[in-house]
A and B are shown apart, each in its own frame.
Chain A
Amino acid sequence: MSLLTVNNLSSGYGKKQILEDISFSLEAGTLCGIIGANGSGKTTLIKAIGGILPRNGECLIEDKNLSLLSKRDLAKLISMVPQKSGISIDMSVLDVVLMGFNPYLGLLQQPTSDMKVKAARILECLGLTDRIEDNYLHLSEGQKQLCIIARSMITDSKLVIMDEPESALDYSIRYNVMDTIKSTIKDSNRCLLASLHDVNLALNYCDKLLLIKDKCILDIVDLHADSLDVIESKLRKIYGAISVHKIATKSNTEQLIMLKDMEA
């Protein structure tokens, strides 16, 4: 059974439709990247599934219709990393991460000490142990993003949706963070849906890629089933003259890499 099923979804801002007739499904333990040009509707898809934007069509998580759930129940099923967090008041890093437990706390309840330990543990995994009591606003943009990623990973939500989680992270950290995200998603049999600008990152960490163009899903890349030529031809629909190669690193692991064909 699919963990996430999206049927005939359309969404937009006001009367302007950004996405039309989107349908796909994801199995548990899948990392799915959303790939497309700027303004193609990646963020809109994330927000529509998360219930932040109004939508038509059907979204199901394990047969639960998301439109029928309360905000609280929805937050238990889906956790989200926005492109940029709107937190603009002085708060400790720990308090920001503990916000992730809100759906599991009563209106007047405070986070328990076990929740604090869990928050500290995930911050350690993401390399923020020494900043735990620091002011969130004093962190670099990359560290803020790590903190929000930690908040989204802290609970057992079935689906994690991320809007360009790698955008503020430097080269080495983005690979470390994607390693952590991948192992967490796989180990807990959850599902990740993330819009990504870095195609090479998507090619090497995702199981599936949704290619979005002209308001709809142009194609779906299955990185385990599709051959290199098929992957390349599908990505060409978005990026034009490109080539995809499989190369071996010095540690003898194979990686996919997309290169833009430059004129001589």
Chain B
Amino acid sequence: MRHSTDSATARLLRTNWIYFLVGGVLLCALFCMSLFIGKYPLTIDGLLSGNDLQWRVFKTLRLSRTLAGCFGGFALAIAGYIYQTVFRNSLASPDIIGVSSGASAGAAVGILFLGSSVAITLCSFGGAILAVILALAFASIDKSGHKSTVVLAGIAVHSIAQTILMCLKLTADPEKELASIEYWIMGSLNNISSHSMIGNLILCAICVILSCLLHRQTLLLSADEGEAQMLGVNVATTRLIVLALATIMVASIVSMTGLISFVGLVAPHCAKKLTGNNKLSTMLLAGIIGGCLLTAADILARSIAATELPVSIFTSLIGAPFLIYLIAGGKQKL
């Protein structure tokens, strides 16, 4: 009996191993490409010969941007996986509890009243966290603890944040501030520097590790509330912890990059379609796909036109056809 269980598990691990290998190689390739492609092209020769300008561009701009792309995509995908599992909704994304709209409103406050990039990052982070605290506070009014209450509270907070954002846009200078707000909402990895991102990435990494450790609890939350409770899960507390971790991940990434659409939605779907299950390996594969998606989108955003384009255009352009390919049965051909 032990043999049959182990051999079935081994078969599954072998299949997942291939996906991890392909995903890992692709992510490494994109990482290297991202380091050298851009407005100021870097060369290996230039770096090896100790070219001062090339080293400065590499250290202060390109490396941090590439790390933010790989790790940001990874974290957004993990957060999307958690939202989709906990809410049992395949369309769930950070917006479902108002995270993205809170971050947007916060960023708009930063752009209008403070101006510096660090202040904008802090304000958008604060906005995202505040939105989730509000959503959970509204949800706690209903003592039943239904997860639909959290979703409805999130929709209410999303609407409030959108209204605040509209009011802020009305007061913004159309030439500079309004353009900055719109550009922030479209998302870009352009202004990320090593000193501004280190705290966010560490915070995000801690949340990713904790989310991996709590993966079994996340799966239990996907059952009915009564069923999860009868399996010994303290549903309200566990859901709060798991969602808080996912939200901090999203907040720490979007506060650096602006809104990045589609990664948190498409990457978990791709991973689930490929593996056909929801094991921890599926969550990690979703992260690798997310990292690939955002890094590839960023490479295109900075190299396809004379001016830098919003990264969300390319995350959708790359992600949507791949998802459709998988839905149409392409998995068997991979």
Contact = CB atoms under 8 A, between A and B. Distances in A.
Interface of A: 47, 50-52, 70-72, 74-76, 78-80, 82, 85-92, 94-95, 99-100, 102-103, 105, 107-108, 110, 113, 116-117, 119-121, 124, 129, 132-133, 135
Dominant SS at the B interface? helix
Contact of A71 (B4, B12, B217, B233): B233
Given A75-B231, A102-B233, A132-B4, 5 more contacts: A82-B226, A90-B272, A103-B231, A103-B232, A120-B4
B223 interface: yes
Contact of B222 (A88, A94, A113): A88
Interface of B: 1-2, 4-5, 8-9, 11-12, 85, 88, 213-214, 216-217, 219-220, 222-224, 226-227, 229-234, 272, 276-279
A1 to B, nearest CB: 25
Contact of B276 (A72, A80, A90, A107): A90
A85 B227 contact: yes
A90 B11 CA distance: 17
B232 A85 contact: no
A107 B88 contact: no
7 contacts: A89-B219, A90-B278, A91-B277, A94-B5, A99-B220, A132-B4, A133-B11
A129 B217 CA distance: 26
Contacts of B2: 113, 116-117, 120
B4 A72 contact: no
Contacts of B223: 85-87, 99
Nearest to B224: A86
B5 A52 contact: no
Contact of B230 (A75, A113, A117, A124): A75
A102 B5 contact: no
A76 B279 CA distance: 25
B217 A107 contact: yes
Nearest to A114: B2
Contacts of B1: 117, 120-121, 124
A68 to B, nearest CB: 15
Nearest to B230: A80
A108 B214 contact: yes
A152 B2 CA distance: 21
Contact of B9 (A47, A105, A133): A133
A71 B5 CA distance: 30
A117 B214 contact: no
B199 to A, nearest CB: 25
A134 to B, nearest CB: 9
A78 B222 CA distance: 20
Nearest to B219: A91
A124 B223 CA distance: 24
A82 B224 contact: yes
Nearest to A100: B231
Determine which residue in B2, B8, B232, B279 has the highest number of CB atoms from chain A within 10 A of its CB, and name it: B232
A116 B5 contact: yes
Contacts of B88: 86, 88-89
A217 to B, nearest CB: 23
